[in-house]
Every structure is written in structure tokens, then in C-alpha cells.
Amino acid sequence: MRAFGAGMACPDWPLCYGQVLPPLDFLIFLEWGHRKLAALIGLLLLAFLVLVFKSRDARKQLGTLAIVSFFLLLLQVFMGALTVFHYNIPYSVSLHFGVGLFFLSTLVIMYRKLSPAVEATRSRGILLLSFFGLALCFVQILLGSYVASSHAGLVCPDFPACFGSFFPPLEGKIGLQMFHRYLAYALTLFVACFLLKASRERFPLKFRKLFLLLASITIIQVFLGIGNVVFELPYVLRVAHNGVATLLFLTFVTITYELSRLRLS
């Protein structure tokens, strides 16, 4: 939505231009539709909470996470309002994105909890590496969101250098853009090392599929990042870059959670 410049299409909250049903041009439709989708998700989650707490087994297995997810959604709504009140300043946009990632993580973990753990073993180190990769990915996504909302996406018009230099003065928007690139390089290298480490352990097919997914998403994300610079931030690539970043984070969430369920070797 922000990629289309619709973040402030409704300058007030919770109404839009003081109306429940504002005139829906394209930008207002995106912003107002985003809010209505959030409301629908809230109603569905509330219904899910009722179902969970009606069953003793479901309450024992999912109750805590279900409550956490509901409060994260409330916080996400608050952060959405904050971005409007503060005119989409970078820190509020990034925090809004970050809370959304935490909310999605709770949904993914609840889904994974409903399936039995795989009978396999893992080393202590592989889990620590997965947690580190998860944290690194989260920081990179928040930084990317800050870069985008600061309109620093094209401050370096070339790639991989910036105005022909790999180490330009790290000030202002150029500093933001280059730190985002440096962290992207570090994350890509980390994923390669993590997958190499994982390949040396005897994981079942379920995990090998997750590791293949992680590798594939990382490669796609690298090309999307490059494409955004080369093609000067087209809408499709900007939206795809955000979406694939979210998939990368949730893949790390899934891998980390599933590894935590394994017995130590």
C-alpha cells in the first residue's frame, strides 16, 4: 500500500475524511481496504480465541499464544493509527511493520504446534544460529522499511557501489541505504553458512525442504533488491520485495521453532 503512496490517503483515523464510507478513488480504496481487512482479521481472531478457550486441549496447547496474538493485533491497530497521526514518519512505519511480523509469527507457531514434532536430533549450535538468523532478518526488514519510508531507496542509483564507491560517506540517506546493503550482504552470507552447517547434520526430509525454501527465498530476495535499484523502484518489485522479505522472516520463524522441538544430539 505504501509503495503506491496510499499511506496518507485517509488523513484521519479511524474514519476517512470523517466518513465511514469515503469516496473511493484508487488510493483511498487501498488505505480504507487495508483498514477494513485489519478489522476482518480482528473479528476472525476473536472467533478463533472463543473456539480455543471452549476446548480444554486447545486451551492448553494454544491458549497463551492465542492471547498474545490478540494483544499483538491490538498493538498493531494502535501502531497503524500512530502512523496516520504522525504522517507516516519512518520510525512509526517501521514499528508498525515490526509488530505485524511478530503477529504473523504467533500465527505460524500456532499452526506448527498443531502438527507433531519430528523424531530427530539436532546440535545446540544449529538452534543458536537459527535464532541469530531470525534476529538478523528482523533487523534487516525494519531497516529496509525505514529506508523506504525515508525515501532513500534510490539515493544510490547504481549497484553494488554507490556513485562508484563501495564505502561512500555514511551520512544521511546514503548512510541508511548503504547500511541496508551491508546488512543484506551479511544476511545472505549468513544464510549460506547456516545452510552449510545444516547440511552436515542428519535432518529428515521435512527439514531439508525448509532449508531449500530458505535458500530459494533468499536468492529471490537478493534479485528483487537489485532489481529495485536497476529498474528504479517499480511498484511491482517494491511490493514483491516487501512480501518476500516477510516470507523469509516467517521461514526463519518456522525453522527456528521446529529446531527447538528436536532432541539434543
**How do the domains of the chain map onto residue ranges?**
1-115, 119-265
Q: What are the pLDDT tens digits along the chain (265 aa)?
A: 565 666 778 889 888 888 888 887 888 888 888 999 999 999 999 999 999 999 999 999 999 999 999 999 999 999 999 998 888 899 999 999 999 999 999 999 999 999 888 888 898 899 999 999 999 999 999 999 999 999 999 999 999 999 999 999 999 999 999 999 999 999 999 999 999 999 999 899 999 999 999 999 999 999 999 999 999 999 999 999 999 999 999 999 999 999 999 988 7
Burial of 217 (0-12, 13-18, 19+ CB in 10 A): buried
Task: Give the predicted TM-score (pTM) of the model.
Answer: 0.93
Q: Which of 234, 217, 231, 225 is nearest to 160 (CA)?
A: 225
